[in-house]
Amino acid sequence: MIQLTHLQKLEAEAIYIFREAVATSERPVLLYSVGKDSSVLLHLARKAFHPAPPPFPLLHVDTLWEPREIASFRDELVQRLNLDLIIQVNQDGVAAGVNPITSGSRIHTDVMKTVALKQALDAHRFDCAFGGARRDEEKSRAKERIFSHRTPDHRWDPKNQRPEPWRLFNTRKRKGESFRVFPLSNWTELDVWTYIKHERIDVVPLYFAAPRPVVEREGALIVRDDDRMPLLPGEVERIRTVRFRTLGCYPLTGAVASEARTVAEVIAELKSAPVSERQGRLIDHDGAGSMEQKKQEGYF
Amino acid sequence: MSAALAQVETHPTAANDVADARHALLHFITCGSVDDGKSTLIGRLLFEANAVPDDVLDTLRTDSAAIGNASGVLDYSLLVDGLQAEREQGITIDVAYRYFATPRRSFIVADTPGHEQYTRNMATGASGADLAIILIDARKGVLPQTRRHSLIVSLVGVRHVVVAINKIDLVGCNEAVVRAIEADYRGAVAALGFEMITVIPVSARNGDNIARHSELTPWYDGPTLLGWLERVRTDRNVVAAGFAMPVQWVNRPDPDFRGFAGAIASGFIAPGDEVVALPSGVKAKVARIVTFEGDLAAAGAGQAVTLTLDRDIDVSRGDVLISAAASAARAATVRTEIVVQLFVTADRSIGAGDSFIVQVGAATASAQVVEVLHATDVESFARRTAVRLALNDLGHVRLRLDRSLAITPYSVLRELGALILIDRLTNGTAAMGIVAADPAEADGNRVVAFRRAAGRTLEYTMGPQWRQEIAPAATWRLGSAVLLGTIVTIVTGNPAWGLAAALLDAALRPLLRLTHRRIWAVLRQRAHRQRDILSDGGGI
């Protein structure tokens, strides 16, 4: 018998999930956030359907407040791999002047991410959206199914989830209902990085340590990507060597002080890391159960 | 014995090597009743394995003070009780998966509800597990739910059990209490066929015998819980089933390429091997094994691949490609009637006449419940007659499918022997089920057993399409026997000799054909065994 390694098993499982979802849905889409998990997800999608290209477009919900490197990395990749990309911006939110500085993290995330995502899913009538979420990220994610059922208004009901015994995914749905599908459910952050190293997958350079303009705010290291973010009284911008473990709107996402400049160094750092991955995300700390609330409302 | 099994024996694998055990993954489930301290135990394991980051520990300290039910001591259960509703009720209501690793091994933990109304979540969590931790409160001993949890994990194929007798500090760390519970438990589950039962006295709250041996239990010289989880080997017995792959998706990027994508369920395959598409029974040879990294020279169980065939046969999602070698053809049979042990997971009962969508592997069909054979009491394990099965009930039913599917008993191959029933109205998963080893075994009907055995023998000698071939084959056989009898009668002038020759010919020739086939099957298997297999899988 061929003995598969831990990563080979995870890869085979993800490919299996991709194929099940595509075979049983009409209009699938891959939610591509440009982060490391999305990069792995895209790589697995290309493997699952080879020699055909991935039979679905990519969707990037652009909040207009992500670090500029994200868009440049995305555009280069899409052109190089000849992918079909949809960029969604909530124009109503833009018109209303929603932003993370004056609107606050909760309203900004809701309008520019959650609402924008729903707009795109509705406009294109997508019935299956692949996401790169992992169960080890956050407590409420630990209970989410691999095929997560959503009502026509995109709500998740944590108390009414379908059992997923063995690998039998019940993909039946009514008109208007959809699934969020998470092929990386069983991966850990370390698995993702080990796989990136093994497969030589390109990721945004933001994940690697470099000197960047940093402002310390509420204990988080905020990289000031442009001057739309005003400094508060007493704050000073300093150049520090930092990297990101997770990406998002720059005023809401903390970096970590790090010297890890390569994938191998990131892996070494993770193996001794004393803090959790989502610690840098200010939106998760809005109160106990805040992520679960966002997910019920349709946040990814 | 299949080629896959032979490979296990001739190539000692990484799992056999302790030094490499850190690459092995242990998937386990924890089962216990509402307040046996299950979440505390998992939280404690995460803490002891250094899997709790500093910021999470900080949150734990604030949360313990705010919600926790124990003062002064950290409430480790808060590390795992994820959903808001559960936190408020103080119980775990769903399956939560946890991931942690020690230098020796990676772990996936399915944390499942103990409460009776959530037994279905437990069954889901157990379906992927290699091992189960059954938690028993030392003050309470073996409870009805202990028996229920044990039965369910045994049903879905878990063979290794750790009995964690928790809260030993509350019974004064008394050895006699622990030994009495152990004897009680072993007696209660004797019929369930566990391969290994390991009993460990622990206190999840205080950390006794979790990662370090406790000074409070000097009489206990067994492993610590974490030590045992790192060491235990749960290699599944590979049952000889040969190559089988349910087709998930037909890959047709252009008119020149037609590939069948799927995950190999058992055995292995190489270009040139002959396969049969079930349920149609049409044969073809494998042309290529296509992957993103290039074509493979061979592929085996667990790998996700795309196969192309040497000729254009009709194969679609849900069909199963199996090795044309006799052993595999015998394992998977095309059936329209099956006896299934069901576990009801929806808030509706199931009885004769009900119609569902059945899903086996990637295949679906319409299924009607012909009859409920009996129900099994999940606490006493006794069978009783039943008309309908309700939520959390377990029982055997006979299902009739509207089209034939390739199916094996669950004990032979999980991928073709596990199923779910889907409610047509709600689209919910109404039940999960496993195909009984032999339909006759379930209802005690000898006639059915004989018919099945005869069917298997015919299939073995004549191939999966024996139903279509049996009538012409029989008339041909009879015709030639009559002809031989006539010739012998003419030559010897004695009709008795002629009759004897005809009868002998009719009986002996099929037997010789069966022997001849068996010899060929053995020769083919030898050839397979000698074939060189990629040890790295060529996947990643």
| 340-359 of B, contacting A, C-beta below 8 A | 345, 357, 359
| 243-272 of B, contacting A, C-beta below 8 A | 248-249, 251-253, 257, 259, 261-263, 268
| 117-146 of A, contacting B, C-beta below 8 A | 135-136, 139-140, 142-143
Check CB contact of B408 with chain A, cutoff 8 Å. Answer: no
pLDDT in tens, B233-245: 876 655 556 899 9
The architecture CATH gives domain B334-443? Beta Barrel (2.40)
| 102-161 of B, contacting A, C-beta below 8 A | 106, 108, 120-121, 123-124, 127-128, 156
pLDDT in tens, A119-138: 999 999 999 999 999 988 87
| 166-205 of A, contacting B, C-beta below 8 A | 166, 168, 170, 172-174, 185-186, 188, 190, 195, 198-199
Indicate if B334-443 has the same CATH topology as B244-330.
yes
Instruction: Compute mean pLDDT per 10 residues along chain B, 540 residues long, and list them.
Output: 33 33 74 78 86 74 63 68 52 71 86 73 84 94 90 88 94 91 93 90 92 91 93 68 91 94 93 93 95 95 95 94 74 84 91 96 95 91 92 93 91 89 94 79 51 61 62 84 89 88 86 80 55 28
Check CB contact of A271 with chain B, cutoff 8 Å. Answer: no
pLDDT in tens, B474-525: 888 888 888 988 999 988 888 889 888 888 888 888 788 878 877 876 676 5
The architecture CATH gives domain A6-192+289-297? 3-Layer(aba) Sandwich (3.40)
Calculate Rg over the CA atoms of chain B. 28
Q: Do B97 and A1 touch (CB under 8 A)?
A: no
Min distance B521 CA to chain A CA atoms (Å):
20
Which three-class secondary structure state does DSSP give residue B38? helix
Q: What is the ipTM of this complex?
A: 0.89
Min distance A95 CA to chain B CA atoms (Å):
35
Rounded to whole angstroms, the Cα distance separating A35 from A62 reads: 13
Q: What are the start-end ranges of the E strands in B242-377?
A: 244-246, 249-251, 259-263, 268-269, 274-278, 282-290, 299-300, 304-309, 320-323, 333-344, 350-351, 355-360, 363-376
Q: Do B97 and A185 touch (CB under 8 A)?
A: yes
Q: Which CATH superfamily is domain B3-231 in?
A: P-loop containing nucleotide triphosphate hydrolases (3.40.50.300)
Say if residue A281's pLDDT is above 70.
Answer: no
Give the residue from A17, A166, A294 with the most B CB atoms within 10 Å of its CB, the best one to mutate.
Answer: A166
Q: Which residues of B touch A276 (CB under 8 A)?
A: 53, 55-56
The pLDDT, as a whole number, for residue B329 is: 56
With a CB cutoff of 8 Å and minimum separation 6, the contacts of B471 are none
Rounded to whole angstroms, the Cα distance separating A262 from A264 reads: 5
Structure tokens at B290: 């296509």
Over range A212-235, report the average pLDDT: 90
* Boundaries of every domain in chain B: 3-231, 244-330, 334-443, 465-530
| Nearest in space to B99 (alpha carbons), one of B49, B161, B36 | B49
Across chain A, mean pLDDT equals: 89
**Stated pTM of the model:** 0.80
Q: Do B534 and A2 touch (CB under 8 A)?
A: yes
pLDDT in tens, A7-45: 898 999 999 999 999 999 999 999 999 999 999 999 999
Q: Do B99 and A164 touch (CB under 8 A)?
A: no
The pLDDT, as a whole number, for residue B538 is: 25
pLDDT in tens, A66-75: 999 999 999 9
**Alpha carbon B231 to chain centroid distance?**
23
* Boundaries of every domain in chain A: 6-192+289-297, 204-284
Q: Which CATH superfamily is domain B244-330 in?
A: Translation factors (2.40.30.10)
User: Which residue shows structure tokens 């009930």?
Assistant: B393
Rounded to whole angstroms, the Cα distance separating B143 from B161 reads: 16
Q: Who among A23, A165, A199 is closest to B317 (CB)?
A: A23
Rounded to whole angstroms, the Cα distance separating B43 from B37 reads: 10
| Nearest in space to B24 (alpha carbons), one of A2, A4, A41 | A4
With a CB cutoff of 8 Å and minimum separation 6, the contacts of B86 are B92, B93, B94
Task: For helices A263-271 and A189-199, give the axis angle rounded to 10 degrees.
Answer: 160
Say if residue A144's pLDDT is above 90.
Answer: no
Q: Do A166 and B259 touch (CB under 8 A)?
A: no
Q: Who among A7, A140, A165 is closest to B123 (CB)?
A: A165
Min distance B426 CA to chain A CA atoms (Å):
9
The pLDDT, as a whole number, for residue B22 is: 40
The pLDDT, as a whole number, for residue B229 is: 94
Q: Do B432 and A161 touch (CB under 8 A)?
A: no
